[in-house]
A = this chain, B = another copy of it.
Amino acid sequence: MSETAADIPALMTRLGRAARAAAPVLAAATTAQKNTALVAAAQAMRARSDTILAANEEDMTRARAKGLNAAMVDRLRLDSTRVEAMARGLDDIAALPDPVGSVAAAWRRPNGLEFERVRVPLGVVGIIYESRPNVTADAGALCLKAGNPVILRGGSESGASNRAIHAVLVAGLETAGLPREAIQLVPTADRDAVGYMLASMREYIDVLVPRGGKALVARVQAEARVPVIGHLEGVCHVYVDRDADPDMAREIVHNAKLRRTGVCGAAETLLVDRGGLALLAPIVRDLLDAGCEVRGDATTGAVDPRVRPATEEDWATEYLDAVIAVRVVDGVDAAIAHIARYGSSHTEAIVTANSATAERFLARVDSAIVLHNASTQFADGGEFGMGAEIGISTDRFHARGPVGVEQLTSYKYVVRGAGQTRR
């Protein structure tokens, strides 16, 4: 399946041209056609579950031989439950409303011109991701629903799994009479293909979405010459204010940190108001008792001997693990300042019964998602009611927060007149 490095420009140009050619066909596809493709792909995925699992076993064998670490092997691993979850994901995306053609706004001007702002596909999307093979299904399906041809470049470790999953998506497209070039998988593990997508495909790719760890994101930021929807780290904060309900504060912090530690909406830093210092000990002990490592400032360290001292680096770290940094701050404004300095503008929560304090925090914290009296783990397109998402954007441009089908669209203005000319 792989081509030599010298062929990369020719190969990628071929993929790019095919995607560009598929764009008008996909833009004109009906909702029924797109949903038929998605449901047929889900059926094919269930029917070919054994083939997908066998392909995944190939990848796993290669990964073990290479000595990949346990976390990477787990991200790579599929089983029948995970295949069924992917198939259900396809059905769920079929059930979402079709954004394409929906009228986002309509108005009439005094001269009688009727204006509509109509959603249209964003264009050709490039997705660069790492070892999770489910991204092939999720990202392919979301782009299809939004009417965008997609070029998928998965990690080399999951090559066989990705090809097997891609084959069921193509089967779905063919059932619906849609071009198979609507969802293309880069057929080489050559890393130059990524460089080419980033730097040399402006003509063919309208937007790139990187999904992966810091090294990938850093590479994309350094090399991309195509617009990017970025998904940077989530150094998420919970601020417990002096006016917080103690039980609510403890439950929210526990959930925000420990429900799942590996997600971008997991809390990484707890800030506690010095004016509510009695709140600190029960929260910290609850975390420690649950097996969470606590790295705290001096005041926090005095609470329990299990607390380790925090360093400057801890305030800016996304642990993605059962570790939390804890700091006592002088009220809501100090919390806002700490977040502005160390945060990643992803998701932050305040716990307080004082609505004026809450509104100050919600207005002044400049993050994609700000919450009052709720867990940061709600940072998820599904929890927002948006359906599946491709990630949480920490960019300010185009899409911020969960990136679902609607965020994968652009718009155009349709103007209807009766012969109006401009003075």
Contacts and interface: CB of A to CB of B under 8 A. Distances in A.
A305 to B, nearest CB: 28
Nearest to A371: B415
A396 B410 contact: yes
Interface string A210-224: 000000000001000
A422 interface: yes
Interface stretch (A11-19, A177-185, A245-253): A245-253
A120 B366 contact: yes
B377 A422 contact: yes
Given A115-B384, A396-B206, A398-B398, A420 B362 contact: no
Interface residues of A, number: 65
A10 interface: no
A413 B370 contact: yes
> From DSSP, what is the main secondary structure of chain A's interface residues?
mixed
Contacts of A221: 202
A173 to B, nearest CB: 21
Contacts of A410: 396-397, 400
Contacts of A368: 412-413
Given A115-B384, A122-B396, A373-B419, 18 more contacts: A113-B378, A113-B383, A202-B221, A206-B396, A206-B397, A227-B397, A251-B421, A259-B422, A369-B412, A370-B413, A371-B417, A372-B415, A373-B416, A373-B417, A375-B420, A384-B413, A397-B397, A400-B411
30 contacts: A24-B366, A27-B366, A107-B385, A109-B384, A123-B396, A202-B221, A227-B395, A245-B419, A248-B419, A259-B422, A368-B412, A370-B413, A371-B414, A372-B414, A372-B415, A373-B416, A373-B417, A373-B418, A373-B419, A374-B415, A374-B416, A374-B419, A374-B420, A374-B421, A375-B420, A375-B421, A378-B422, A383-B422, A397-B398, A400-B410
